[in-house]
Amino acid sequence: MGIGQYKTLPISYVDAAELILNINLNKDKLIDHPVLVGNAGGTFRAKDVEEWVFQDGFVGLMCWYCLNDNKDFFIAIEPCYKGIFEYDETDIKNKKPIQDTLLIPKRLIKENLYEDEGLAGTLSRYKNGVSGKQKTATKDQVCKWVDNYMKATNCTIGISPFSFFIGEDDKGKNYLKDFLNNKKPKNIRYFFSYAPDEEHKAFPLRVILAPVNLFGRNINNSSGKAVVGDDVLQYSWPPKH
């Protein structure tokens, strides 16, 4: 299976803002999806993710969609390694975590960012607290949260229990490594977004990863350019069709 055409891709903060704002523009399709109720994203400690990405055999980062008893919607993340996890397109809705322990956000963003019409101008300097220790959850607990999400979601879009950031694509490009090497984040922030175009019709819910400094501010490229195309990462899996 070739994955080059569906690889994780870097995008600008301007493009990221457009994808986030699409949540509000498409709320009629999302209906009662938990992303509509103050669940914009969250933050992880970068060191923990970096330890995975640079290990031999790392093939990607799984982001599991979770809904806890408090109705908080967030992602739990785990690494995938060659020979242990091989991504395939079958039975997407029944996939479950593999690692015994997964990372969960040390802090959630409880805002409706998708209602901020000026988001394109503020996302590159967006700031949210990053204090506190990195949190973890067991595989069993995450499985329950994933099940909660799948059962509670009633909307007209394709529903998957996860997003997948590909490590190295079939051309040898590794955007996750580039992201960490070039941005040198102390924290990694994720934002939920929505890709409503025809190409992404099967699974339009998206996760965006942004680099964050020690003080909780999104890292912006130092070149001073108005639009930089590799500020953040978006994923392109599960498959678009």
- Does some domain include residue 55? yes
Instruction: Count CB neighbours of 41 within 10 A.
Output: 27
The confidence score (pLDDT) of residue 158 equals 83
The confidence score (pLDDT) of residue 199 equals 57
Based on the structure, what is the number of domains in the chain? 1
Percentage, residues of the chain above pLDDT 90: 58
Cα–Cα distance measured from residue 216 to residue 197, given in angstroms and rounded to the nearest whole number: 32
Longest dimension (CA), the chain: 46
Q: Where are the alpha helices (DSSP H) in 10-104?
A: 13-25, 27-30, 46-53
- Does some domain include residue 137? yes
- Does some domain include residue 161? yes
The confidence score (pLDDT) of residue 227 equals 53
78-83: Cβ within 8 A, 24+ apart: 78/102, 78/103, 79/52, 79/53, 79/55, 80/164, 80/167, 81/55, 81/57, 82/57, 82/58, 83/57
- Does some domain include residue 20? yes
Q: Which two tokens stand for residue 9?
A: 């891709």
Q: Which two tokens stand for residue 146?
A: 């994933």
Q: Domain of 24?
A: 4-85+93-234
- Does some domain include residue 241? no
Q: Is the dihedral of CA 109, 110, 112, 116 positive or negative?
A: negative
Which regions in the chain score pLDDT beneath 70? Answer: 1-7, 85-89, 169-170, 197-201, 221-228, 236-241
Q: Which two tokens stand for residue 79?
A: 């690494």
Query: Taking all residues of the chain, what is their mean pLDDT, rounded to a whole number?
Result: 86
What pairing do the DSSP bridges indicate for beta strands 205-212 and 232-234?
antiparallel
Helix (H) or strand (E) segment spanning residue 176 = helix 175-183
- Does some domain include residue 140? yes
- Does some domain include residue 39? yes
* pLDDT tens digit sequence for 43-80: 999 999 999 999 998 988 999 999 999 999 999 999 99
Closest CA to 79 of 105, 106, 99: 99
Instruction: Count CB neighbours of 233 within 10 A.
Output: 24
What pairing do the DSSP bridges indicate for beta strands 205-212 and 187-194?
antiparallel
- Does some domain include residue 58? yes
